[in-house]
Structure formats: C-alpha cells, structure tokens
Structure 1
C-alpha cells in the first residue's frame, strides 16, 4: 500500500480512538453480541474488529475498500491478533456462506448502499437460526443535507423505513432506539437553519480536554442507558427466526 495512504489511514484510526461517538457506540453494540462467531460488516480501519477479538470473539471482517481491509490486517498484526478479513461489498457477502455467524454487526453502512434491502437480505443469509443482527443508520430523512451528500449517503432513515427493511428481510425485531440525542439539535440548526455543514473536528480532540471528557461521560452514562425520543442515529437489534421442525 502507498505510504501516503497508510499515513492517512493511521491518522483516521488514531482519531477514532479519541472519538467519543465511536468509542461509546462500540461499547453499546457489544452488549448485544451473542454467540462466538461475529461478522463485522464494514470494518473501516478495524476498531470494532479489534475490540471484538480482544473480548474473545472469533471475527470475520469485511469492507468494500481494499485499503481498509489491508489496514485492518496490519492493525491486527501489530496487536498480535487474528481475524478472517475479506475485501467485498454487501452485494457479494453471500459468498461467505449460509448460516455461519452468531452475530452480524453493520454500523453506518446501509446508507452508503443504493439497494439497501438486498444488502440486508444478504447479511441475513449468513446468520444462523436465532442469531443476532445489529445495525445502525443515520436517523430522520428530513435531516438529509450537506454532510450526508459529502460522505456518500444515499439516504437517512425514518424509524418506519428501517422497520420495513427489517420486516422484509425476515428478521424479528428485538429492540430499536434512537441514539446521539445530544447531536440532534446542533445538526438540525446547522443543516436546516444556517444551511452549512456542521464542524465535527471537536470529536477528534485529544482525550485530556475537558470537553471530550464531558462528552465521553455523557454518552457512556446517559446516551447508552436512556432511550431518547430523537437522536442522530437509529440502532436496531434483531434476530433470525428459529424454524420449528
């Protein structure tokens, strides 16, 4: 891999360790992981993959970008950890096999895919009976704006949209909730009133700042334990049905 790309990805990975949003989303999601075999669908720079392996899970990690899967592999090697890592998008995920995972995690991925229903169906195909699927997506279609377009979002999701997607895939809903209440109103004001993209650089400041410590505590103590009526993200925990014989 080109040294400039590696340097860029290292900066993204390092900033992700300081990002109160991703840090606490990982903690929340891991509460719902069941079984041993886990598919991290959309591994990015490997934060969730590494966290799951450190927690004792057997992990398969996929991403559609070769640079990201290569970088994730290098991160695992640096930490003396092993996972099965493949470069593929969710249109090809059935090639991993039918009914092989206890849990599939798909965080902030479906909004980047034109045919999100087929993508979700393909993920379900890889799950065992009674297995768990955890998905997060950006919430509220009326908030779709400059930031979404810039980072390649096809859409944001109303709760009814995500519920329909889940129902059509044959999944059974366990829990659905909004998350990131604190960020809802700043984004609303920035995108819909001021008509400009919100500045998110504060998310990546060093951990010794008072602001970061406050936000980290807020998400850890409040957001991860209280279900608010609105939020920037929708998180759904689902399971595949058990077929009675």
Structure 2
C-alpha cells in the first residue's frame, strides 16, 4: 500500500459530496507537489487529515472552536498543525506553496476582500486551490440553512481569482449526476428543519449556521464511511466524463513568481 492509501484507511470518513470533491482535489495536489500547505477553514479536518500526509508541512486555521477541536484531534496525529483562528492569526510573513479553502468562500459576504487577504499567503509561483458550490441559479434551502451567501459559475470564479492577481486559472465542475440527487435531498431536509425552527422559535444566525455547516450530515463511524465510499465510487468515475457539468466546482490559480 502507498502512504496515501494507508492514510485513506485511517482518516475520518467523508460525506458523499466530499468524496466526489476529494477525487478532484487529491490529483490536483499530487500534480502540484507542494512542500507546504495552508488550509483555511479546515472544518472538522476531513481533508486536512489527508492533506497532512501529502506534504512535509501542513498548517490549518479553523475559527470555530468546536470544529477546531475535532480537526486538531484528526490532523495532529498525522503530523499537521491546526490553529483556532482565521488567516489574520497565522505566523506573520510566512507564505505557502499551496493555500486551500474548501467550501469556505461562499460563506464570506465580502469574498473579494477575503481573496485579497489570502493572496499574500501564497508563495510567489505557488497556487491557491478552492472549492465552492456551483450554479448561482441553484441557490436553495440548503444554501440558506448552512450560511451560503452565493454560489459561483466557472466564469465568476475565474474573474474573482484573476482580480485577486492569480494567473493560469483553471476551473473544473464536478458532481454530475450524483450531486443533483444529493442536492435535492439536502434541500428537502433543510426545508423541513427550517419549518420546525420557525415553529419552535429557534432560528440560527448566519454566523451560527456557517460555524456548524461542516458538521452537517456527516457519516458516523468507519462502517458508514466505507458504505458511502463504496456507494460513491462509480459516480467518481462517471463525473470525469462531464468536467463542465455539476453542482460544485474546484478552482486553481497560480500567483506569479
């Protein structure tokens, strides 16, 4: 077994959508071969526990204290480091070969301002790697429930990264066709939950929804994780046949040297 396959066997299980996303993110990271990785908003550390095995130095920042504690318990044992904070609390003056933010940008009202703050963290000649929901016209109940301000088209993401100073921007959509089924199910769940919250007077603020978003609908335990992994495997292959279709996107851009 390779080091990565060993890591996959012991790292935390991923939800179906995250499995589809990882199948795009992993080969991208392998192609870039970064010596240092910074992940912003690492959530519970599902990706971070994997990324930390792919580089000599992995650092993550997670502002939510509950998610931070979970991420730290998963990432520290495989050699990574997690801080409880955002990018403003990182070591001053340091830059990284690869800066990642998965399912983060859509939660930030001023996305251009966020990218302007993240860009200097990328080493000249290094890369930024993002994932977000795709299709502005697909905004639905689940987006509202988890604190999304927006979804992105490939053209919008390319424009944002170009404005932030990145070049050679590449955007890949993923999630066809399973993503559409998952999205429909999530919207139905969110609609029911929202109705119950209104009835009980327990509606959350957008900050609370954002903080808990990464903990929603996660598989419980390795058995459930293996079932999800097995069930999504055929769709990982199928989505490669339609790189311009899907409910989500992965984008990579390079900071000029």
- TM-score by structure 1 length? 0.76
Q: What CA distance in whole angstroms lies between the structure 1 residues aligned with 2:11 and 2:49?
A: 15
Q: Which one has a larger percent helix, Structure 1 or Structure 2?
A: 2
Aligned to 2:243: 228
The residue number in structure 2 matching 1:39 is 38
Confirm or deny: 8 A CA contact 1:171 1:238 kept in the other structure. Answer: yes
Question: Could you report, residue by residue, the CA deviation over 1:178-235 in whole angstroms, capped at 9, with x for unpaired residues?
Answer: 110114543676799x8975999697782565x862422321x232x33433211021
Matches within 5 A, 1:1-245: 17-33=13-29, 34=32, 35-77=34-76, 80-90=77-87, 92=88, 95-98=90-93, 100-186=95-181, 197=191, 206=224, 209=227, 213-219=230-236, 221-223=237-239, 225-242=240-257
Distance 1:152 1:186 in 2: 21
- CA shift, 1:49, in A, is 1.5
Give the whole-Å Cα distance in 1 for the aligned partners of 2:172 and 2:51: 22
Q: Kindly tell me: are residues 99 and 226 of structure 1, through their superposed partners in 2, closer, same or farther at Cα, counting changes over 3 Å?
A: farther
Q: How far apart, in 2, do the equivalents of 1:65 and 1:195 lie?
A: 24
TM-score by length of 2: 0.73
User: CA RMSD, aligned part only?
Assistant: 3.2
How many residue pairs get aligned? The number is 221
Q: Provide the C-alpha distance between the structure 2 equivalents of 1:75 and 1:207, rounded to a whole number of angstroms.
A: 15
**Distance apart, 1:52 and its partner CA:** 1.6
CA contact (8 A) 1:132 1:238 kept: yes
CA distance in 1, matches of 2:113, 2:182: 30
Question: Where does structure 2 lack aligned partners over 5 or more consecutive residues?
Answer: 1-9, 194-215
3-state SS of 2:28 partner: coil
Contact 2:19 2:232 in 1 (8 A): no
| Residues 183 and 232 in structure 1, CA contact (< 8 A), matched pair in contact too | no
Separation of aligned partners in 2, 1:195 and 1:150: 10
8 Å CA contact retained: 1:40, 1:48: no
Contact 1:143/1:188 (8 A) holds in 2: no
The 1:208/1:75 distance shift into structure 2, 3 A limit, reads closer
Mean Cα deviation higher: 32-41 or 108-117: 32-41
**2:256 aligned counterpart, secondary structure:** coil
Using a 3 Å threshold, how does the CA distance of structure 1 residues 191 and 206 change in structure 2: closer, same or farther?
A: closer
Instruction: From the superposition, tell whether residues 68 and 170 of structure 1 become closer, same or farther in structure 2 (CA, over 3 Å).
Output: same
Instruction: For 1:203 and 1:127, locate their aligned partners in 2 and report how far apart those are by CA, in whole Å.
Output: 33
